[in-house]
Homo-oligomer: A and B are copies of this chain.
Amino acid sequence: MSIHIIGLTGLPEVQTGDDLAQLIRAATPVVDRETIVVIAQKIVSKAEGAIVDLRSIDPSELARNWATQFGKDPRLIELVLRESRRIVRMDRDVLIAETRHGFVTANAGIDQSNVPGEHFATTLPLDPDASARRIREGLGCGAVIISDTFGRPWREGLVNVAIGISGLEPLGDLRGARDRSGRLMQSTVLAVADELAAAAGLAMPKSGGVPVALITGFDWARGVGSAQALIRAPEKDLFR
């Protein structure tokens, strides 16, 4: 297997209403059915208008108290609370929440980096799978992954993971397969979509400017796909 990852430069600053498929096609000569296109959540949110003017937000007492304690913007905390369906941890200066989609991440995925204007923050796309599907159809590529950087328990640093998927099976299921020794492999399910998102992240510096990466040479299991398959069901989750 020989895999190739290219960061796509030359995209303009994305505005609300932009057609991302069109912008990506204009910036790259070849995107075919063998290409996986990984797109940073930030530009999908911008294109879809998932941007909030913090001046429109009236923070609750909870948001005000907690923000004051840790030197944060109470309007931003209020926005996190509104975007969450469950608070997983609100401890020290860390706020980890379950988003409306079921993703567990810091600040429910809300952030201000690479958003012009000090009063604005992006929220996650309303339906990232649907966003991925629209872009894949517009581009005619093999698969689209919308990625975001998530923290992890126990390990330092953020990694890119898949929050929206179209055109690939996110989990490479080897249960029932046998290893080279002929042993039945019992719990080996690889999160292929997350590894693709992480690989693309290497070509997409967080400081911005490269919000899209193209992956070729990877042989993947095609399918409708959904990032929902990457969310552990509550009854199986030991770290709720």
Contacts and interface: CB of A to CB of B under 8 A. Distances in A.
A13 to B, nearest CB: 8
Contacts of A160: 195
Contacts of A179: 113-114, 206-208
Interface residues of A, number: 71
Interface stretch (A77-85, A132-140, A183-191): A183-191
Contacts of A174: 206-207
Within the oligomer, what is the number of copies of this chain? 2
A1 B156 contact: no
A10 B199 CA distance: 24
Interface string A138-175: 00000000000100111111111100000000111010
B202 A1 contact: yes
A25 interface: no
Interface string A5-26: 1110000000000000000000
Contact of A189 (B4, B154, B157, B183): B157
A108 interface: no
A-B pairs, 3 with minimum CB distance: A157-B191, A199-B199, A198-B198
27 contacts: A1-B202, A2-B6, A3-B203, A92-B238, A96-B238, A103-B154, A104-B153, A115-B181, A118-B183, A152-B152, A152-B191, A154-B231, A157-B171, A157-B191, A159-B190, A159-B194, A160-B195, A179-B207, A180-B209, A185-B207, A190-B206, A192-B202, A195-B202, A196-B202, A198-B198, A199-B202, A239-B239
